Amino acid sequence: MFTLPGKLLLLAVYGTAVCSYLAALPLTPDAIHWLRIVAAVLLGVHVLEVLICFRQVALHKGSLFDSVLLTLLFGVLHWKPTADAARRPR
């Protein structure tokens, strides 16, 4: 499944975007600009995802705060496996 590679890719995008504010990266200014835009758009989409899919986000076995935070970082890669597991017959 692509969940783990997708999460690692998102962490790499967010981490590189944060590092671009803290230190000079060996990237062109245009690349850094677009990386920051991509990271901001991803976070914006994940905020909408929390609002729209709150019922699925709340199915997480941990605390609701953790689930919201993980959804803000990973979006559908976090809440979809939990929602699928909840729908399966036991």
* pTM summary value: 0.85
Average pLDDT taken over every residue of the chain: 92
70: nearest Cα among 62, 25, 85:
62
Query: pLDDT class for 33, splitting at 50, 70, 90?
Result: very high
C-alpha to C-alpha distance for 74 and 77, rounded to whole angstroms: 5
Q: What is the pLDDT of residue 1?
A: 62
Q: Which of 66, 12, 65 is nearest to 39 (CA)?
A: 12
**The two structure tokens encoding residue 76:** 């559908």
- Please say whether the beta carbons of 32 and 20 come within 8 A: yes
Going 12 to 15 to 17 to 23, the CA torsion angle's sign is: negative
Q: What is the end-to-end Cα distance of the chain in Å, rounded?
A: 22
pLDDT surpassing 80 at residue 90? no
